[in-house]
Amino acid sequence: MLGIGGTKPVAGQAEELIACPTSKAYEIIGRQFFENYRKWCPQVVELEQLSPPPVCLGAKGRQVTRDRGIDSESLFEVSQFAPNDIFEISGTSEPFRSAYEFKEENGATRIIFTFELKEIELVMRPFQKLIRTALQDGAIQTIENIKQLLEEAVAETERVPA
Protein backbone atom coordinates (compact mmCIF):
# COMPACT_ATOMS: atom_id res chain seq x y z
CA MET A 1 0.00 0.00 0.00
CA LEU A 2 1.47 3.31 -1.06
CA GLY A 3 1.28 6.48 0.95
CA ILE A 4 -0.37 9.70 -0.09
CA GLY A 5 1.89 11.89 -2.20
CA GLY A 6 5.37 11.04 -3.38
CA THR A 7 8.44 10.42 -1.33
CA LYS A 8 12.05 10.38 -2.36
CA PRO A 9 13.38 6.88 -2.85
CA VAL A 10 15.24 5.34 0.07
CA ALA A 11 18.26 3.30 -0.96
CA GLY A 12 21.30 1.39 0.18
CA GLN A 13 24.38 1.02 -1.99
CA ALA A 14 27.66 -0.85 -1.69
CA GLU A 15 30.47 -1.71 -4.04
CA GLU A 16 33.37 -4.10 -4.09
CA LEU A 17 36.27 -4.94 -6.38
CA ILE A 18 36.09 -8.68 -6.99
CA ALA A 19 38.78 -10.95 -8.42
CA CYS A 20 36.53 -12.25 -11.18
CA PRO A 21 36.33 -11.43 -14.89
CA THR A 22 33.38 -9.20 -15.75
CA SER A 23 31.92 -11.72 -18.20
CA LYS A 24 31.91 -14.44 -15.51
CA ALA A 25 30.38 -12.07 -12.93
CA TYR A 26 27.58 -11.11 -15.32
CA GLU A 27 26.99 -14.74 -16.24
CA ILE A 28 26.46 -15.72 -12.59
CA ILE A 29 24.46 -12.65 -11.54
CA GLY A 30 22.52 -11.77 -14.69
CA ARG A 31 22.20 -14.72 -17.03
CA GLN A 32 21.92 -17.29 -14.20
CA PHE A 33 19.93 -15.02 -11.88
CA PHE A 34 17.20 -17.55 -11.07
CA GLU A 35 19.75 -20.29 -10.30
CA ASN A 36 21.98 -18.13 -8.12
CA TYR A 37 19.98 -15.29 -6.51
CA ARG A 38 19.27 -17.22 -3.31
CA LYS A 39 23.01 -17.90 -2.93
CA TRP A 40 23.80 -14.22 -2.33
CA CYS A 41 20.43 -13.17 -0.93
CA PRO A 42 19.50 -15.64 1.84
CA GLN A 43 16.33 -13.66 2.69
CA VAL A 44 14.83 -15.06 -0.52
CA VAL A 45 13.11 -18.28 0.55
CA GLU A 46 11.20 -18.88 -2.71
CA LEU A 47 12.12 -17.85 -6.23
CA GLU A 48 10.29 -18.67 -9.43
CA GLN A 49 10.96 -17.65 -13.01
CA LEU A 50 7.55 -16.82 -14.52
CA SER A 51 8.69 -16.29 -18.10
CA PRO A 52 10.52 -18.85 -20.22
CA PRO A 53 14.33 -18.96 -20.17
CA PRO A 54 16.73 -17.44 -20.93
CA VAL A 55 16.89 -14.45 -18.60
CA CYS A 56 16.52 -11.31 -20.71
CA LEU A 57 15.02 -7.84 -20.63
CA GLY A 58 11.40 -8.11 -19.51
CA ALA A 59 11.78 -11.57 -17.93
CA LYS A 60 9.38 -11.95 -15.01
CA GLY A 61 9.78 -13.58 -11.63
CA ARG A 62 8.21 -14.09 -8.23
CA GLN A 63 10.02 -14.08 -4.92
CA VAL A 64 9.15 -14.63 -1.31
CA THR A 65 11.49 -12.97 1.16
CA ARG A 66 11.66 -13.61 4.88
CA ASP A 67 12.75 -10.81 7.18
CA ARG A 68 12.52 -11.23 10.95
CA GLY A 69 10.13 -14.14 10.47
CA ILE A 70 7.74 -12.24 8.18
CA ASP A 71 7.25 -13.49 4.62
CA SER A 72 6.57 -11.04 1.80
CA GLU A 73 5.79 -12.01 -1.78
CA SER A 74 6.57 -9.75 -4.71
CA LEU A 75 6.54 -9.92 -8.47
CA PHE A 76 9.34 -8.36 -10.50
CA GLU A 77 10.74 -8.04 -13.97
CA VAL A 78 14.19 -7.62 -15.43
CA SER A 79 14.19 -3.89 -16.18
CA GLN A 80 17.78 -3.62 -17.44
CA PHE A 81 19.82 -6.34 -19.10
CA ALA A 82 23.04 -5.09 -20.67
CA PRO A 83 25.68 -7.86 -20.55
CA ASN A 84 28.84 -6.94 -18.67
CA ASP A 85 27.35 -3.55 -17.80
CA ILE A 86 24.12 -3.66 -15.75
CA PHE A 87 21.50 -6.11 -14.52
CA GLU A 88 18.44 -4.75 -12.76
CA ILE A 89 15.13 -6.04 -11.50
CA SER A 90 12.19 -3.81 -10.63
CA GLY A 91 9.17 -4.70 -8.57
CA THR A 92 5.88 -4.87 -10.44
CA SER A 93 3.79 -5.55 -7.34
CA GLU A 94 5.94 -3.52 -4.92
CA PRO A 95 7.91 -0.32 -5.66
CA PHE A 96 11.53 -1.54 -5.48
CA ARG A 97 14.60 -1.64 -7.69
CA SER A 98 17.64 -3.87 -7.29
CA ALA A 99 20.57 -3.04 -9.59
CA TYR A 100 23.98 -4.58 -10.20
CA GLU A 101 26.47 -2.46 -12.17
CA PHE A 102 29.66 -4.06 -13.53
CA LYS A 103 32.88 -2.19 -14.24
CA GLU A 104 36.00 -4.00 -15.48
CA GLU A 105 39.19 -2.96 -13.66
CA ASN A 106 42.46 -4.65 -14.65
CA GLY A 107 40.95 -8.11 -15.06
CA ALA A 108 38.80 -7.79 -11.95
CA THR A 109 35.24 -6.51 -11.66
CA ARG A 110 33.90 -3.66 -9.57
CA ILE A 111 30.27 -4.40 -8.75
CA ILE A 112 28.05 -1.62 -7.49
CA PHE A 113 24.89 -2.94 -5.88
CA THR A 114 21.92 -0.67 -5.19
CA PHE A 115 18.64 -1.58 -3.52
CA GLU A 116 16.01 1.12 -3.62
CA LEU A 117 12.52 1.44 -2.23
CA LYS A 118 10.88 3.83 -4.67
CA GLU A 119 8.14 4.81 -2.25
CA ILE A 120 7.47 4.26 1.45
CA GLU A 121 4.07 3.77 3.01
CA LEU A 122 2.76 6.80 4.85
CA VAL A 123 2.85 5.04 8.24
CA MET A 124 6.53 4.12 7.71
CA ARG A 125 7.77 7.61 6.77
CA PRO A 126 8.75 8.54 10.35
CA PHE A 127 11.17 5.58 10.21
CA GLN A 128 13.00 6.61 7.03
CA LYS A 129 16.37 6.89 8.79
CA LEU A 130 16.02 3.38 10.23
CA ILE A 131 14.90 2.05 6.87
CA ARG A 132 17.84 3.72 5.12
CA THR A 133 20.26 2.23 7.67
CA ALA A 134 18.73 -1.22 7.23
CA LEU A 135 18.95 -0.94 3.44
CA GLN A 136 22.58 0.19 3.65
CA ASP A 137 23.48 -2.70 5.97
CA GLY A 138 21.67 -5.07 3.61
CA ALA A 139 23.54 -3.71 0.58
CA ILE A 140 26.89 -4.21 2.32
CA GLN A 141 25.97 -7.78 3.26
CA THR A 142 24.73 -8.50 -0.27
CA ILE A 143 27.94 -7.28 -1.91
CA GLU A 144 30.01 -9.35 0.56
CA ASN A 145 27.93 -12.42 -0.31
CA ILE A 146 28.36 -11.75 -4.05
CA LYS A 147 32.11 -11.36 -3.62
CA GLN A 148 32.36 -14.68 -1.81
CA LEU A 149 30.19 -16.45 -4.41
CA LEU A 150 32.12 -15.07 -7.40
CA GLU A 151 35.57 -15.66 -5.94
CA GLU A 152 34.60 -19.24 -5.05
CA ALA A 153 33.34 -19.75 -8.62
CA VAL A 154 36.64 -18.46 -10.03
CA ALA A 155 38.65 -20.66 -7.64
CA GLU A 156 36.52 -23.68 -8.64
CA THR A 157 37.18 -22.97 -12.34
CA GLU A 158 40.92 -22.76 -11.68
CA ARG A 159 40.90 -26.11 -9.83
CA VAL A 160 39.20 -27.99 -12.68
CA PRO A 161 41.75 -29.30 -15.19
CA ALA A 162 41.09 -28.17 -18.76
Mean per-residue pLDDT pooled into runs of 10, the chain (162 residues): 59 97 97 97 96 97 92 97 98 95 97 92 80 93 97 83 58
Q: 108, exposed or middle or buried, with CB in 10 Å at 0-12, 13-18, 19+?
A: middle
Give the per-residue pLDDT at 93: 93
Give the per-residue pLDDT at 6: 55
Triad 69, 70, 71: Cα angle to 5°: 120
Q: What are the chain's domains?
A: 14-155 (3.30.530.20)
Q: How many helices (H) and strands (E) does the chain have?
A: 3, 7
Give the per-residue pLDDT at 162: 53
User: Strands (DSSP E) along the chain, which ranges?
Assistant: 10-18, 44-49, 60-67, 70-82, 86-91, 96-105, 108-117
pTM of the model: 0.89
Give the per-residue pLDDT at 160: 56
Give the per-residue pLDDT at 157: 79
Q: Are 39 and 19 in contact (CB under 8 A)?
A: no
Give the per-residue pLDDT at 114: 98
Give the per-residue pLDDT at 121: 77
Q: Angle, nearest 10°, between helix axes 33-40 and 128-159?
A: 120
